[in-house]
Structure 1
Amino acid sequence: MARIMIADDSPSVRFLISILVTQAGHEVVLQANNGREALNVYFETNPDLLIVDFQMPIMDGISLIEEITKVDPDAKILMCTGSIEKLQCDSRMNKGVTVIAKPFDNKDFIEAVSTALAN
């Protein structure tokens, strides 16, 4: 069982992800509305995996990843995005981040969670 933090500005997406990871046997330790909120508690919560949206208000997913990996370069991160082309071209992207495109198939999402945890 992994401890998972979710950072996404969509309540419905956070709810869906929470259900999927819980059904897969993991624990959701926090659901954040934006990158800044996630960053403020990431190091206190110390999750095994951060699932993060690419586009969020206040602090986007890339900025959140940059801040976390400065302190924790081995952080396990799964990026969810509807902007896969933009993400592939973003030179700031941490090479260790697993990426899945939205909308995603539930089975593919759980496989991406497993991949991210194994990285």
Structure 2
Amino acid sequence: MREYIKNNPVKLFFILTFIISWSGILMVANQTGIPASTEQFDKLLPIAMIPYLLGPSIAGFIMIGLTQGKKGFNELFRKLSKWRLGSSIYLITIFTVPILSFVALFILYQFSEVYIPDIVTTNDKTALILS
């Protein structure tokens, strides 16, 4: 079995990703039945999305463990901790999307008040952020 895993890592990665990602949807279907009502689905959607979004990452870690073992994890974390670019590049990367979103909303607001972000118009900002 170990030889098969080492010879077919990509195939097994995609199979694992599929199984992990769809397990959240199957958990929701198991609890609500198929088809679920809109209220049931909306209530359980965050639970279903966790494995759906993390499936490729979890499968990647599993495959590193199966194919390379501890040496593979050490190499991965060594490469992740090595900073090759200056901190200004990372700041630009982090703030580009929020700045572009702000500029786009500001421009759109000039044409219609529909585009005012809720955070600006609401009095209960904490509830909005937590929801």
TM superposition score normalised by structure 1: 0.25
More strand by share: 1
More helix by share: 2
